[in-house]
């Protein structure tokens, strides 16, 4: 269970591209905070395997204008930034980076699950985890670090190497490490394949360089 939700890809052009192209790492080309808007736009467009024509059609703008925006010859409006980010399904925290790069104020706030403003959400998560007892259940953040768990999880982690259960506990590493839970999982090969496929999908969706 995670406390973040990712929307599935939409758009025929995007699906066609993802079905015919292997995932690739965007780590080397990840734009920085001082890079212009065009660099961020190009990064996300290529990460989604879209040509300028594909994106222009989805965003309902001319290819020429999109090219001018990407090369810095034209400045996008705030509405255009948000429209392109929506079509590219850029995660909300990265949309802030796009807005700032284009000269606008960020609009999406990011809070920890322990923030007082999210107290009701935290209670809901705890209730869901409690409802899974007598089976272990846990919640992780976007980097698979443990953020909440029910009473059975400490018993599940008992016996794992100390470095694997020292905060912050990375559940992905704990699950696959020989000194963690790997030796206790009867169908480890299938479980490992499932986790790695999930991780690959997450990287493709978010472009998160930490993953």
| 93-148 tens-digit pLDDT | 899 999 999 999 999 888 888 888 889 999 999 999 999 999 999 999 999 999 99
Mean pLDDT throughout 83-87?
Answer: 96
Tens digit of pLDDT for each residue in 11-23?
A: 444 444 444 334 4
* pTM, entire model: 0.68
Q: Which residue has the higher pLDDT, 153 or 210?
A: 153
Q: Report the pLDDT value the prediction gives residue 76, as an integer from 0 to 100.
A: 96
Q: What pLDDT, on a 0 to 100 scale, did the predictor assign at position 29?
A: 63
Domains of the chain, CATH where assigned? 12-101 (1.10.260.40), 119-206 (no CATH)
| Chain center to CA of 188 | 25
């Amino acid at each position: 269970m995670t406390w973040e939700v990712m929307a599935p890809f939409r758009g025929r052009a995007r699906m066609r591209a993802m079905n015919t192209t292997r995932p690739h790492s965007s780590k080397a080309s990840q734009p920085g905070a001082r890079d212009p808007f065009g660099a961020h736009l190009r990064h996300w467009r290529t990460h989604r395997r879209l040509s300028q024509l594909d994106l222009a059609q989805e965003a309902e703008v001319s290819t020429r204008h999109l090219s001018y925006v990407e090369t810095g010859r034209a400045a996008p409006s705030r509405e255009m930034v948000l429209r392109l980010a929506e079509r590219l399904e850029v995660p909300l925290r990265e949309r802030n980076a796009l807005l700032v790069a284009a000269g606008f104020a960020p609009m999406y706030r990011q809070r920890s699950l322990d923030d007082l403003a999210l107290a009701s959400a935290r209670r809901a998560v705890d209730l869901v985890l409690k409802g899974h007892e007598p089976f272990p259940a846990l919640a992780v953040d976007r980097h698979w670090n443990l953020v909440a768990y029910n009473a059975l999880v400490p018993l599940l982690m008992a016996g794992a190497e100390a470095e694997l259960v020292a905060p912050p506990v990375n559940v992905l590493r704990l699950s696959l490490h020989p000194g963690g839970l790997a030796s206790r999982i009867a169908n480890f090969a299938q479980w490992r394949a499932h986790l790695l496929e999930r991780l690959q999908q997450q990287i493709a969706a978010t472009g998160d360089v930490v993953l």
